[in-house]
Amino acid sequence: MSVSDEELMAFADGELDAQRRAIIQAAVEADEALQRRVEAHRRMRTKLADAFSGVLSEDMPARLRAAAAGEAQSAEVVQLGARRSARWSMREWGAMGASLAAGWLIAVGLFTSTTPALKTDGDGLVASGVLSRALDTQLASDEAGAVRVGLSFRAQSGDYCRTFSLTQNDVSGLACRERQSWRVLVTAREQNAGEVRMASAPAIMDSVDQIIEGEPLDAEAERQARDRGWR
């Protein structure tokens, strides 16, 4: 009996109705070549499933968690912080590269205005002026002026860190307390909604994921940390 490859495939996949299945079953049992073809179909299916099964156990990127939590790509960091749940992966401080593109920071005037919000020192970027003051004193629940503060948390190093966005420049970032100043670890430019590429808030959240210890501070803990001078 000649069996079409499509029907043999459907047989191997368990997709035939009872009547056709019985007919093909009988044909396969009587013909070694058909048996080999059925086995080849099943092996191929297993091989394909195995080749992609590892994806299921990979860590979920923060931007996908944010998307699934209903955070649009242009979502404010403060909203991401309020809703985010458990951290998924623990990596080292050192894994966080400087994702700073100095060119566009200059382009948006963050260094060059008379009262810059960012300045450089030997090690990179530190908050200055209005940003430094906001990180020192402003709470996430405060009305945003030039700076909106997002979530605050303790890093694995023990230092306090806070996310922020500069409302006039569409720039957001993550800064951590270092002695008397705030070291800016990551900055990202907000992007318009509707673009496929990763926007800034998820980029910042990725960095938060890498360094956070436990959960973000709630409003009360944030206030207490502020009152203690972030020490």
Distance (Å, whole) CA 223 – CA 45:
57
Rule CB under 8 A: choose which of 22, 30, 44, 98 binds another protein.
44
Q: Which stretch binds another protein (CB under 8 A): 62-70, 99-107, 112-120, 163-171?
A: 62-70
Looking at residues 170 to 229 of the shown chain, list those that interact with another protein (rule: CB under 8 A). Answer: 196-198
84 near another protein, judged by CB under 8 A: no
Do the beta carbons of residue 67 and residue 93 sit within 8 Å?
A: no
User: In the structure encoding, which two tokens stand for residue 126, read together?
Assistant: 């530190």
Residue 82 binds another protein (CB under 8 A): no
The 10 Å Cβ neighbour count of residue 172 is 26
Spatial distance between the Cα atoms of 111 and 189, rounded to a whole number of angstroms: 15
Q: Report, in Å, the least distance between residue 155 CB and another protein.
A: 25
Q: Is 70 buried (19+), middle (13-18) or exposed (0-12) by CB count in 10 A?
A: exposed
Note whether 162 binds another protein by CB under 8 A. Answer: no
Pair 160, 225: CB distance under 8 Å: yes
Which residues are CB-contacts of 105 (< 8 A; sequence separation ≥ 6)?
A: 111, 118, 171, 187
Q: Is 40 in the site for another protein (CB under 8 A)?
A: yes
Which one among 2, 70, 123, 227 touches another protein, defined by CB under 8 A? Answer: 70
Pick from 17, 32, 52, 97 the residue near another protein by CB under 8 A.
52
Does 56 help bind another protein (rule: CB under 8 A)? yes
174: part of which helix (H) or strand (E)? strand 171-178
**Minimal distance, residue 191 CB to another protein, in Å:** 13
Residues within the interface to another protein (CB under 8 A): 5-6, 9-10, 13, 15, 33, 36-37, 40-41, 43-45, 47-58, 60-61, 63-65, 67-70, 72-73, 196-198
